[in-house]
Structure formats: C-alpha cells, structure tokens
Amino acid sequence: QHKEVITMTGISFEGRVAIVTGAGGGLGRAHALDLAARGAKVVVNDLGGSIAGTGGGTAMADQVVKEITAAGGEAVANYDSVATPEGGKAVVRAALDAFGTVDVLINNAGNIRNAPFTELTPEAIESLLAVHVKGAFYVTQPAFEVMRDKGYGRIVFTSSAAGIFGSPEQANYAAAKGAVLGLANVVALEGAPHGIRVNTVLPAAGGRMAADMNPDTLVGMPTTPAHFEPEMVTALASYLASEANPYNHEAFSIARGRYARVFIGVTEGHHVPFDAPVATAEDIAAHIDRIRDQDGYHVPGSMIEEFSLIP
Ligand code: NAD
C-alpha cells in the first residue's frame, strides 16, 4: 500500500530517518504520519502537555506511534522537552539509538499564550521564547552535526504569519516565530556546503493553536470555507523534507488552500553619492518615496549579498 503511494508521487522517504517535534497532535502528528506512510522511520517527539506548554505526559506521542505502527510504519516515541540543551540532545539521541541516524528534522513543537502587549507576563514571554526559539536551537544543533557528518539533511522550521506579518495580542508568539525565521536563515547558509537544505513553513491550519485566538483580533478574516486540514501543511512540509526538494533558505506560506513563497525584499532605495555630504533627516524626508518604492526590489540570499547588490 505505502509503496504504491510512493511510486505514484515520487516522494519517498524509504531508508530515511525523521524527527518531528511536537508530533503528538495537530500539524506535527500529520507530518509524522505522512513521513512514515512514505517509508521514513520516525521519532515522534512530544512533551504531551497543554497548549500553553505546561504539564507533560506520554499519551500523545504514544498514540501517534501506535497509529503509525498500526498502519505498518516504523516509529518510536520521545517525551523530552525541546526547550533545553539536554532535551534537544535526547530527542536526537532517540533517533540514533532506534534508527542509527537522522536525515530529516521538522521543528514543529510550540506553545501559545496570547495577551494584549502590556499584559504579557515575563513567564508568558519566556516560555514562548523557550519552546519556539531555544527548542529550535537545541534540537537542530545535534541533528545538524549528524547531517553535516553524513553530507545530507533536510530541516524544516515552523514559523508563522503572526511573526512575519504581525498579529495583535500575539507579541510573544510573533517575536518567537520571527526569531525562528532568523535562525533558519543562518542554518540554511551553514548547511548548504554539507548537503543540508533548510526551509521554513508558515502554516495556518487546524492544530490546537488556530483555535486559540481572540475573535476581536480576527476582524477582517475571511470566513468563506477553505482547506483547514493539518494535512494541507503536511504536503508542503513533506515536500521540503524530501530529497526531491532542491530549494534552500526559503519560506512558504500555506493558508486557506493557497501555497505561496514568502520572502523579505529590499527596495532599490535612494543612494547618497560617495562624494556627497552625509545625509540628514531632511534628505530622508525628501527621498522617502524612493526609499519606500517597491518597484525593482531584491530578495538577498544573505547579508553579504544584500550589501553587494548595492551599486
Ligand atoms: P499543537 O498545540 O496541536 O501542537 C504543538 C505540539 O507541540 C503539542 O502537541 C505540544 O504538546 C508540543 N509541545 C509543546 N511544548 C513542547 C516542548 N517543550 N517539547 C516538545 N513538544 C512540545 O499546535 P499546532 O497548531 O499543531 O501547531 C504546530 C506548529 O505550527 C507550532 O509550532 C505552531 O506555532 C505552528 N503554527 C500553527 C498554526 C496553526 O494555524 N495551527 C499557525 C502558525 C504556526
């Protein structure tokens, strides 16, 4: 059955070992099931706690492993928190102990604690940065070492439209998700010479998080029916995690049935000639339309590229 799907689509994970963090439910569960159905041996990591990231347990990860093995796939559960260096190492060690290597890492674990900006407690700020940002560091570092040494790897980070475009009452979440994209940008550049491709997804789909929004902040959100199945995100994650994916250092949105590349560009801008005096605030005011003009923008592949694109 699985082999048929693979032949049909050409996207196979036969012989590959994958880690999916936060795979006890929502999007992560869908990612783990799809990778396993396509032949990957999967580490199903999940702390098993609440949507706020509190508590923990083995039931969520165990359930997904059960689903995978019942369907004829191979998986092991791991219950470590991604948010500490020891936890991150233990997640990767689970893959090495059970399956001998790591080819694919999908950083998906996350928590959420929404509140108006001035009401965000230090705890709500720190716990979000711990799970999303530190978690992405601490699992990816040991996985990257394995991938670098074997000269192959695929890493998918999970950011959010909230972090890249903004979303009221989610400052802690948005800051964390923006940081994830910044991290992915560098891991992508450092991974490239080693055959490691690193990309980011910005999902909108039916995990626990999508339900946890203040309706007042969602004014203007279209209410027409649209695909909201976690599997819609999984299609993109599996593609990016596959050997077939030739892209590195990119980000993609999946929302309301639309798949699209997301990028940060730089306008052509206003140039101060080398022999002219240093600009003043008045010079900026005089040229602000040119500075903001989006015609002819660039999408630099690195900081060096940004600077070298300036004539
Ligand atoms: P979810 O709550 O169903 O899944 C997140 C999982 O991460 C949970 O199972 C949770 O137990 C686990 N987790 C939390 N803290 C952990 C830790 N310290 N260590 C290991 N596991 C931990 O949410 P979801 O909606 O499926 O979201 C999955 C990812 O996608 C998250 O990173 C989320 O921020 C991101 N995202 C989701 C949406 C959406 O619309 N659902 C939108 C943008 C981004």
Instruction: Give pLDDT tens digits for 151-210.
Output: 999 999 999 999 999 999 999 999 999 999 999 999 999 999 999 999 999 999 876 777
Q: Are residues 95 and 199 in the same domain?
A: yes
Tell me the CATH number at 87: 3.40.50.720
Locus of tokens 């470590």: 80
Q: Are residues 212 and 105 in the same domain?
A: yes
Q: Are residues 254 and 128 in the same domain?
A: yes
Q: Are residues 254 and 303 in the same domain?
A: no
Q: Are residues 45 and 70 in the same domain?
A: yes
Domain end marker among 245, 262, 279: 262
Look at residue 238 and give its three-state secondary structure.
Answer: helix
Mean pLDDT of 143-152: 98
Mean pLDDT (the chain, rounded): 94
Locus of tokens 């990119």: 250
What residue ranges in the chain does DSSP mark as E strands?
17-20, 41-45, 74-78, 104-107, 153-158, 196-203, 250-255, 258-262
Q: For residue 111, what pLDDT band results from cuts at 50, 70 and 90?
A: very high
The protein residue whose alpha carbon is closest to atom 18 in ligand 1 is 81
Say whether pLDDT at 4 is over 80.
no
Mean pLDDT of 208-227: 76
Q: Are residues 10 and 66 in the same domain?
A: yes
Question: Ligand 1: residues whose CB is within 6 Å?
Answer: 21-22, 24-28, 45-49, 51, 53, 60, 81-83, 108-111, 131, 135, 158, 160, 203-205, 207-210
CA of residue 128 to ligand 1 center, whole Å: 11
Q: Are residues 206 and 230 in the same domain?
A: yes
Distance CA 43, CA 92 (A): 9
pTM of the model: 0.95
Say whether pLDDT at 65 is over 60.
yes
Distance CA 311, CA 309 (A): 6
CA of residue 110 to ligand 1 center, whole Å: 4
Total tally of structural domains belonging to the chain: 2
Q: For residue 44, what pLDDT band results from cuts at 50, 70 and 90?
A: very high
Paired tokens of 282: 């008045």
CA of residue 31 to ligand 1 center, whole Å: 12
The protein residue whose alpha carbon is closest to atom 24 in ligand 1 is 207
Give the structural domain span for 304.
265-311
Q: Are residues 275 and 194 in the same domain?
A: no
Q: Are residues 128 and 244 in the same domain?
A: yes
Burial of 5 (0-12, 13-18, 19+ CB in 10 A): middle
